[in-house]
Amino acid sequence: MNRRETLRLLTCALPLGGLTPAFAQTNVTRIIVPFAPGGPIDITARVLAERVRDSLGQVIVENRPGAGGGIGVAAVARAPADGLTLGIAAVAMHAINPWLSKLTYDPIKDFQPITQMVRIPNVLVMNAETAKRLKITDLKSFVAYAKANPGRLNYGSGGNGSAGHLGGEIFKSRAGIFAVHIAYSGGAPAQQALLSGEVDYTLDNLATVAANLRSGRIVALAVTSAVRDPALPDVPTIAESYPGFEIDTWWGLIAPAGTPRDVVTRLNTAFTTALRSPEAKTRFSSLMAQPVATSPEQFSELINREYLRYEKVIKSTGIKLD
């Protein structure tokens, strides 16, 4: 995606006259993205906002970052259940964080799922120069170095309780290594720390690291999905060395609980049609992201299943916020 296209996506749904709040306009649908502009979740939300205008009218994206996504998600929970305020449900806010901290929303009861949007693996990536200097070429040599030099490696994540943090701690436990965790205020700062050599590795989602993988500034050692990803067919899974290891990043659209069924159906039809469009698939592919269109029931089942899965994972590993 070139710079002009990215800027177009970031501004595609903004109302004329930026001083007027979007939610004050009549029959305008807003999607609250609980992260700062420019990341994969934000970009995919804006792609869909553009594609559903013919069926839903004006759709804007409103960024409400903070508290690991909690501020934006809580704002969706408090919004009127009229179908005009939507938000993003993601693995961190709806499956991981509930078992790590006290939330101001109930991840299950306070929301009505609309459709999943994306499934994407996390990837264990290293700064390319660091990997070359330490003679690390694959996961086996990575683990060997870490075991021979406990505490010499560190890894960054988008924050305490993020999928990258959780994945990093589970991997350390399974591999029998020790590395220092450094939490940043989001995926972008963590990625910058990796590029600058401030941290040695991350377990970030493929959409976030895609551009730097293509440029060769970082190298991929393994993916966290159960099977190899089509975008990186030559990169092994962690599960190939440590059976049962599986962490996927996913996100999708939600509305406040109590949204009428006919409204939910209309929203689902609009957004799943957009997700299946060639234009959306092309734009998502630039992020190495796989669009996933589901029914509200299927997305609800995913959220509930992941919520219960991470309860077991977190309790069994004893992971706590730093």
112 and 253 both lie in a single domain: yes
Between β-strands 29-33 and 85-90, what pairing exists: parallel, antiparallel or unpaired? parallel
Closest-CA residue to 123 (of 207, 53, 37, 6): 207
Angstrom CA distances, 175 to 90, 235, 243, stand at 27, 18, 11
160 and 253 both lie in a single domain: no
Q: Residue 136 belongs to what domain range?
A: 121-240
110 and 258 both lie in a single domain: yes
Whole-angstrom Cα distance, residue 258 to residue 77? 10
184 and 231 both lie in a single domain: yes
Of the candidates 240, 271, 294, which is a domain's last residue? 240
104 and 61 both lie in a single domain: yes
What type of residue sits at position 70? Answer: G
Do the domain assignments include residue 280? yes
Contact call for residues 260 and 83 (beta carbons, < 8 A): yes
Whole-angstrom Cα distance, residue 118 to residue 292? 5
Do the domain assignments include residue 322? no
SS3 133: helix
**Percent of the residues in the chain that have a pLDDT greater than 90, as a whole number:** 65
200 and 279 both lie in a single domain: no
Q: Please give the model's pTM, rounded to 2 decimal places.
A: 0.80
Residue 237 DSSP code: B
Do the domain assignments include residue 81? yes
pLDDT value, residue 9 = 52
SS3 136: coil
For the stretch 216-241, pLDDT in tens is 999 999 999 999 988 899 999 999 99
Q: What is the end-to-end Cα distance of the chain in Å, rounded?
A: 36
Across the strands, what pairs with 202? 125, 156
List the chain residues with pLDDT less than 70: 1-26, 320-322
For the stretch 99-113, pLDDT in tens is 988 899 999 999 999
pLDDT value, residue 127 = 95
Do the domain assignments include residue 174? yes
Domain harbouring 56, CATH code: 3.40.190.150
